Homo-oligomer: A and B are copies of this chain.
Amino acid sequence: MSIFLPDPVVKRLPMYYRYLSTMEQQNKSYVSSAELSLATGLTASQVRQDVYSFGGEGRQGIGYPVSELKKHIEKLLGIHQTRTMIIIGSGNLGHALMHYSEFSEKKFEIAGVFDVNPQKIGSPIGTLTIQDLENLESFVGSHPVDIAILTLPAVHAQAVAQRLYHCGVHGFWNFAPVDLQLPKNAAIVNVHLDESLELLSYHLMHPEI
């Protein structure tokens, strides 16, 4: 198992995983780099280089075994194991993610939802009850939590992230429009929706040929 993977390769792993999942459902047993090239928009050469770099194995003259390669990527991504998540902030986005059905299929489970608004604390959300953010440390102390989903206002994100880090939560899926400053062993992935939309605006201004 390779120690180091370049960041561009890592970022492409989920996409490979998605196409391989689709192909597996279609009972496709082997896929060539040429076919993956067509699906992903990458060059066939890059597909081969990627698979080579992350240690996947194919059969010359035949292609890559779909299920096997999928399982290999699954392990690299660590999505063969179940992850426990909590949601911080029960606003619109928090609610949407609470009910986002893709998660359960993919072994990501939501174990708690927290808010500071007294109006919301105690009210039901899915099969759970919104808890007071005051209880964060005690909850995390008694339940294993892998990932915190941050859907709270930007001004509070950094402080809450620090509290989470200090009680042992090292994974952050951050929807607040700020960059979190945490020790480098924290795993942070940002979903900056405002920036994403601004990027779309740019491409509308500057369409390709």
Contacts and interface: CB of A to CB of B under 8 A. Distances in A.
A196 interface: yes
A199 B96 contact: no
Contact of A10 (B170, B202, B204): B202
Contacts of A194: 14, 18, 102, 106
**Copies of this protein, total:** 2
A84 to B, nearest CB: 11
Contact of A185 (B5, B11, B208): B208
Interface string A189-209: 101111111111111111111
A189 B196 contact: yes
A132 B57 CA distance: 48
Interface residues of A, number: 60
A119 B41 CA distance: 39
A147 interface: yes
Interface in A133-150: 146-147
B198 A102 contact: no
Given A95-B92, A191-B191, A177 B18 contact: yes
A184 interface: yes
A167 interface: no
A208 B196 contact: no
The 6 closest A-B pairs by CB, nearest first: A14-B195, A187-B203, A96-B96, A78-B205, A92-B96, A189-B200
Interface of A: 5, 10-11, 13-15, 17-18, 40-41, 76-79, 83, 92-93, 95-100, 102-103, 106, 108, 146-147, 170-173, 177, 179, 184-189, 191-209
